[in-house]
Amino acid sequence: MLEEFEIIDMHVHTYPNSKIGLQAMQGTGVSGMTGTIEELLQNMGNIISKAIQVNMTPVREMADAALKKLPKNLTPAENKEEEKKIIEKMTGRNIRRNDWTCDMADKHEQLIAYVSLDPLCGSAMITELLDKVKNRNVKGIKLHPGNGRFFPYDKRMWPVYEKAIELKLPIITHSGAFFTPDNIQYTQPKHFTEVLETFDDLTLVLAHLGIGFYEESRALAKKFDNNLYFDCSRAISSGKMWGILKDDQAIELIRDIGVERVMWSSDYPWCNPTKDAQKVASLNFTNEEKNMLFADNAKNILKI
């Protein structure tokens, strides 16, 4: 069934080894996979032609953990200096993670790299973005407000949105439910309203169809019909996870949003790419709609 379609996976995470991949999933994966490059490529086989790596580094979590370990007897000046060192260290980790992602894309023609940015890194976000655009073949930007604990309308992100427009790069961002309830507040689709109102030339992709907040996604799509897109990872899946849409719900929501604005993706290794592609292929979409979901919309976003 899948062989008749060109298929691009717009949302995968890759890791240097299985131990790191399993640690990142924190027991929430349902595919039995671990996130290595070799495993992903084997799963893609001759079915999935391209996969977009939207890797990220949990710099906010790591910084908070380091800050908690600081001695309690530091003076305010000493504490500020130590905080600065921690942020610099986390910024370095984020850069190295982006470099690794780009290395994997250079090594494997099936893989495409996005650059991950987090406001914890301050102005270094723009430095990192420009470096990767100039020196590496990145195709987009990855944000994760839930993990970074920042709202999309945080003004620290304004330079990123402006530069994305200037460089003609799409941004993909987590939207909807996340690991912990306290982080959901940052990723509800409605919180992207000010961003879309302010930057009407920004190409923004909300991942997971805003899982758990589908009506917010529907309302946002109706209000902003220019450059707002979605991927359907996790929301449509062969696995058993919270928030997955029933078949009729998925078809109705995607058609209501606009099939031309939704891209298939797997969220590997949390989910199994080929099995999830088969799930979408089995839905009662027309072949024209499936072509849009599987590749045409992604190629429009990626300019490939």
| Rg, C-alpha atoms of the chain | 19
Q: Which pLDDT belongs to residue 237?
A: 92
The CATH homologous superfamily of the domain defined by 2-302 = Metal-dependent hydrolases (3.20.20.140)
3-state SS assignment for residue 171: strand
Q: Give the list of residues 6+ apart from residue 251 with CB closer than 8 angstroms, or none.
A: 283, 284, 285
Q: Which pLDDT belongs to residue 181?
A: 59
Q: How confident is the model at residue 30 (pLDDT cuts 50, 70, 90)?
A: confident
| Statement: residue 183 has pLDDT above 80 | no
Please give the Cα distance from 5 to 77 (Å, whole number): 60
3-state SS assignment for residue 35: coil
Q: Which pLDDT belongs to residue 240?
A: 82
Q: Is 1 exposed, middle or buried (0-12, 13-18, 19+ CB in 10 A)?
A: exposed
Cut 0.85: pTM above it: yes
67-93 pLDDT, tens digit per residue, is: 999 999 999 999 999 999 999 999 999
What are the residue ranges of helices labelled H in the chain?
18-25, 37-44, 59-68, 76-107, 124-135, 145-148, 158-167, 181-187, 193-198, 214-223, 247-257, 273-282, 287-291, 297-302
Mean pLDDT of 285-289: 97
Please give the Cα distance from 300 to 304 (Å, whole number): 7
Q: Which pLDDT belongs to residue 241?
A: 76
Mean pLDDT of 193-209: 97
Q: What ranges do the domains of the chain cover?
A: 2-302
